[in-house]
């Protein structure tokens, strides 16, 4: 479980940056060369490559080199892991909220009975 938590933390860390989120969004449409990914951003290529490195280290993207062209693609399974974690958290908090409602309603009934 601890390893899973670390992986999820790395995933959310990678997605916490707007540039990296935009890269993930761009790759949702399919694999793209680094030059095409970098074009919309007003930053030096080495800075952009650092963002790609963060995404690649956490497993959100993978890249391959064909000749002089490096192409990146999304690894959608990693996004599914984040979605599963969020769903687990939502279920836990909804159960807690339901228990709180039950508790308050029980207190209210007890007050009405006095």
Q: Which two tokens stand for residue 103?
A: 């508790």
Contact 39, 28 (CB under 8 A): no
Give the pLDDT of the chain (114 residues) as one tens digit per residue.
445 566 788 999 999 999 999 999 999 999 999 999 999 999 999 999 999 999 999 999 999 999 999 999 999 988 888 888 889 889 889 988 989 988 898 888 888 887
β-pair partners for 66: 69
CA distances from 83 to 9, 73, 77, 89, 90 (A): 13, 19, 10, 10, 10
Domains of the chain (ranges; CATH) run 2-113 (1.10.10.10)
pTM of this prediction?
Answer: 0.74
């Amino acid at each position: 479980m601890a390893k899973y938590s670390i992986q999820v933390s790395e995933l959310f860390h990678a997605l916490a940056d707007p540039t990296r989120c935009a890269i993930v969004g761009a790759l949702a449409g399919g694999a793209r060369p680094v030059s095409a990914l970098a074009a919309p951003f007003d930053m030096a290529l080495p800075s952009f490559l650092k963002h790609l490195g963060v995404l690649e280290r956490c497993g959100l993207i993978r890249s391959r080199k064909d000749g002089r062209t490096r192409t990146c693609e999304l690894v959608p399974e990693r996004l599914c892991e984040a979605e599963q974690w969020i769903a687990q958290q939502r279920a836990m908090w909804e159960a807690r909220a339901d228990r709180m409602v039950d508790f308050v309603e029980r207190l209210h009934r007890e007050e009405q009975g006095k």
